[in-house]
A and B are shown apart, each in its own frame.
Chain A
Amino acid sequence: MRPALVWLAAALLLLPLLPLIPWAFARGWFFPDLLPSRWSLAAWDYALSPAGGLLPALGVTTLIAALAATVSLALALPAARALGQRSFPGKGAMMLLVLAPVLVPGLAVTMGLQGLMTRAELTGTLAGVTLVHLIPVLPYATLLLAALFSGLDPDEEAQARSLGASPAAAFARVTLPALSPGLAAAWALGFLVSWSQYAPTLVAGAGQVQTLPLLLFAFLSSGRHDIAGAIGLVYLVPGLLVLALASRTLGRGLGASR
């Protein structure tokens, strides 16, 4: 592809985000007007009011995504080490099991979970929603970290051990630093996967855990494109921040994972 085509493709990919901007500031915008006939901050006034609940939803969504990403990394690290550096019987089956939540559409799992979560009295709680988010986040975290581990030289940690370092110290001083760009990338990916969940939050949160996608869907489905635009723009920001912060590490991390 020539650079001109690359730029064109990038522009086409971003084009669907364009209408959100005028909509967030429009009050009455009908065909065939190319721009709103009246501009207004009414959508923001509502979204930022206590009834609109945009800021609490932003906080809840961020908290859940950060928790899901962090917990996933902690759970995935040991498994990733085994999958990345060891060969053992049943490794293929294990890989398949870890991948399953990505390859099996989530609706059946989500609908089945409702019953389980309610029995465990986790429905409608932050913890319950975070737990359910682990299902799609864990596979990505595990596989990304496994790829990282497979690229590491196990001898270096062994050398540190032979020089008298404890296993924990060897891991902390040798392995962890080598992993850190990849860890950042895995965390960012986990954050984004959780960040965009709709159906699992709807079911596990039972309406009581209001994340941004739930809020967005409510106003999209009631035709309030102005409020949906305002929520949508806010919904974009943390993802872009993560991308900006992680773009260098993410690139390096994914590069190193091969």
Chain B
Amino acid sequence: MRRAPTLLLLAPVLLVLVPLFGGALLFGAARSLGHMPEIGMDGWSLAPWREVLTDPQTWRALALSLWIAAAATALSLVAGTALALGLARPFRGAGLARLLVQVNLTVPHLLAGAGVLLLLSQSGLAARGAAAFGWIDAPAEFPALVWDRAAAGTIAAYVVKEVPFVTLLALSTLASLGPGPVEAARTTGASRWQALRFVTLPALAPTLSAAGAITFAFAFGAYELPALLGASHPLALPVLAWQKETATSLTERPEAMALALMTAAVAAGLVGLVARARR
């Protein structure tokens, strides 16, 4: 029986992804090397990279973005796994609860960010609730969760978005695992915690590490949420890059591209390391 050659099957995806994704990165790499003919910069130079790598702002931005991504990923994984374990067991209204948890999957990040802003800013709905209870008298007494240096608001918005994602993936893994292995462990004398530690979590590990990698890469490199919810200093790496991309001085464009490529490289590198460590 004749089969279509594998390469032919792969071709449609390759023909779209390689030129768009690879082409864009190549184009960006050229610009980050100071190649921008439209403003008369025809040559090649390492100056934009030198400028970016010696600027203390870059390193503070990198540290902030790592913090945002790590905190958002850790919180999302823990909360998402716990929620999945809770939803996996039957209880009254479990179907409705599942549906409610899934709602945020359909909520765009920008909208989640807007909601966090209107909820958690020092004059937001939560602060107003606190004032109504007499806990605070002025906005300044409410904790600074938004536009703060620790990026609490940004992290909260990512968690709100990514917990449902982790939950859904974990739930489907639990469903395919079935109750059998855990019951078997329990009948042979394992405690509930031991069953969780030695049976359920190892079964979930591949799913969780994939979900974690996707969450980390996204929270590390996305622009909208730190732009909306972040402080004036330090800036998240993508915000710093975009600030240079829209700076009025054209000569900053190559630096913007170098920062964007650096963001991509760091995320890809870290995800690669995790993947290698898991093997």
Binding site for B on A (CB under 8 A): 1-3, 5-7, 9-10, 13-20, 23, 30-34, 74-76, 78-79, 81-83, 86, 88, 94, 97-98, 100-113, 115-116, 131-132, 134-135, 138, 142, 158, 161, 192, 195-196, 198-199, 213, 216-217, 220-221, 225, 228-229, 232, 235-236, 239-240, 242-243, 247, 250-251, 254-255, 257-258
Contact = CB atoms under 8 A, between A and B. Distances in A.
Interface of B: 1, 4, 6, 8-14, 16-18, 20-21, 23-29, 31, 79, 82-83, 85-87, 91-94, 97-112, 114-119, 123-125, 127-129, 131-132, 139, 157, 160, 163-164, 168-169, 172-173, 175-176, 213-214, 217-218, 220-224, 228, 238, 241-242, 245, 256-257, 260-261, 263-264, 267-268, 271
Contacts of A213: 108, 110-111
Contact of A86 (B6, B82, B92, B261): B6
A207 to B, nearest CB: 13
What are the nearest 3 A-B pairs in CB distance? Answer: A105-B221, A1-B86, A239-B106
Contact of B119 (A19, A74, A86, A198): A19
Nearest to A143: B210
8 contacts: A3-B92, A19-B125, A103-B217, A108-B260, A196-B109, A220-B110, A247-B102, A255-B172
B21 A1 contact: no
Contacts of A75: 12-13, 16
Given A98-B13, A104-B217, A88 B110 contact: no
A108 B263 contact: yes
Contacts of B13: 75-76, 79, 98, 138, 142
Contacts of A6: 83, 86-87, 91, 97, 101
A85 to B, nearest CB: 10
Chain B interface SS verdict (over half):
helix
Contact of B20 (A18, A103, A113, A196): A113
Contacts of B128: 31-34
A190 B186 CA distance: 40
A5 B263 contact: no
Given A1-B85, A103-B214, A135 B264 contact: no
Contact of A31 (B87, B127, B222, B257): B127
Contact of A10 (B26, B100, B223, B245): B100
A5, A111, A232: most-surrounded residue (chain B CB, <10 A): A111
Contacts of A33: 128
Contacts of A192: 105-106
A216 B263 contact: no
Nearest to B156: A16
A107 B114 contact: no
